[in-house]
Amino acid sequence: MENSFFVDSEKLSPAAREKKHRLENDPSFRTDHMEYMDGMEIIRSDICEKVMSQVRNYDYKQYTARDVLAALRHETCSVEDFKALLSPAAEPYLEQMAHRAKAETGKHFGNTVYLFTPLYIANYCENYCVYCGFNCYNDIRRMKLTMEQIDHEMKIIADSGMEEILILTGESRVKSSVEYIGEACKLARKYFRMVGLEIYPVNTDEYRYLHECGADYVTVFQETYDSDKYETLHLMGHKRVWPYRFDAQERALMGGMRGVAFSALLGLSDFRKDALASAMHVYYLQRKYPHAEMSLSCPRLRPIINNDKINPLDVHETQLCQVLCAYRIFLPFVGITVSSRESESFRNGIVKIAATKVSAGVSTGIGDHESKYTGKESDSAEGDEQFEINDDRSFDKMYRDMSQEGLQPVLNDYLYV
């Protein structure tokens, strides 16, 4: 197949329209989603088989109320206990789970809640992921910030008081090279004490380079751990290769990153099995790399521009709360992030129970922090957003709200010496 391309606010050509149609309707036209592409590092890890073995053997319908109550009585939550807490049988015991989760959170994190903000520096993407607003066939305004523009955006964010930033790009090595991202990390180090990356997966030596440029941690969404479902959602591009994406966090740790974050996008497939896989991914890597800081996110699908190709499986707030409480009970030391995809009321509640980190002052667009933070019209064009956010509170308001909820907002807890 021909190389990926960008629509870039133009209608598809007849050839592109035909290719898109074949990708969507003819599985034989797609590349093997389990086969590595040229240049992709293979690390021969045992983590994937351990995780997927647990998922294959998970029949959540077999668990009963007795299993759930036993799990809540145990001082240490075993893998079997965790499976019970994720099962439908645990839904009537959500209040008890929340009490246990709150106790674990208080024991290990006190009443602190960490604040950060994302910065999208480019929205070009070479993948065709049918649920994502950045996908290469989507007719949106594409943009890549210059270093001068990145510096300007970062200064605006830093002036608000924020000390941690998460740098994001679309998944395009052509438009957002590793070197480009590295230069952005160097700029971020001028303004922020903590720098995270949520970019396309790269090889170990590239993670090492990005760490040397100033990145502290890496976030990678597996999206869904169901490889068969994954194949139907990721039709073209490097992201199509399921095993390469799975091993991204381990390559990042091998490259010297201090921390890694994990997530499935709940609603793409069976959310209970995806939640199990996400937690087991952390569980096994934590034992292999005990020095590393690890965290979990729990996002649900949000609306995107020009999308009629994905019908998400409903994951309601009570079910999301169940997953987050189960995460906290099973992995008491792990950070848990709840993003602006969720409502203000839900985030205000969950940080008192299980979550330890929330985003604030969020924009998923490109180059629009000046207009959103200061109200001034930006001198440059702006790129379209990846998805619609739900909680649009500013950093100041989030800080005040968390304080009024009896929590201690933390901007940074890491010092370089």
Domains contained in the chain, number: 1
Give the domain extent around 338. Answer: 14-410
Does a structural domain hold residue 6?
Answer: no
- Which CATH number covers residue 320? 3.20.20.70
Per-residue pLDDT of the chain (417 residues; tens, 9 = 90+): 334 444 443 567 888 889 999 999 999 999 999 999 999 999 999 999 999 999 999 999 999 999 999 999 999 999 999 999 999 999 999 999 999 999 999 999 999 999 999 999 999 999 999 888 888 888 888 899 999 999 999 999 999 999 999 999 999 999 999 999 999 999 999 999 999 999 999 999 999 999 999 999 999 999 999 999 999 999 999 999 999 999 999 999 999 999 999 999 998 999 999 999 999 999 999 999 999 999 999 888 765 454 445 555 678 999 999 999 999 999 999 999 998 888 899 999 999 999 999 999 887 778 877 666 666 665 555 655 555 677 888 899 999 999 998 999 999 877 666
Give domain status of residue 214, yes or no.
yes
3-state secondary structure the chain: CCCCCCCCCCCCCHHHHHHHHHHHHCHHHCCCCCCCCCCCCCCCCCHHHHHHHHHHCCCHHHCCHHHHHHHHHCCCCCHHHHHHHHCHHHHHHHHHHHHHHHHHHHHHHCCEEEEEEEEECECCCCCEECCCCCCCCCCCCCCECCHHHHHHHHHHHHHCCCCEEEEECCCCCCCCCHHHHHHHHHHHHHHCCEEEEECCCCCHHHHHHHHHHCCCEEEEEEECCCHHHHHHHEEECHHHCHHHHHCHHHHHHHCCCCEEEEEECECCCCHHHHHHHHHHHHHHHHHHCCCCEEEEECCECCCCCCCCCCCCCCCCHHHHHHHHHHHHHHCCCCEEEECCCCCHHHHHHHCCCCCCEEECCCCCCECCHHHHHHCCCCCCCCECCCCCCCCCCCHHHHHHHHHHCCCEEECCCCCCC
- Say if 318 falls within a structural domain: yes
Q: Is residue 2 part of a domain?
A: no
In a domain, 155, yes or no: yes
4 assigned to some structural domain? no
- Give domain status of residue 8, yes or no: no
- Domain assignment of residue 1, yes or no: no
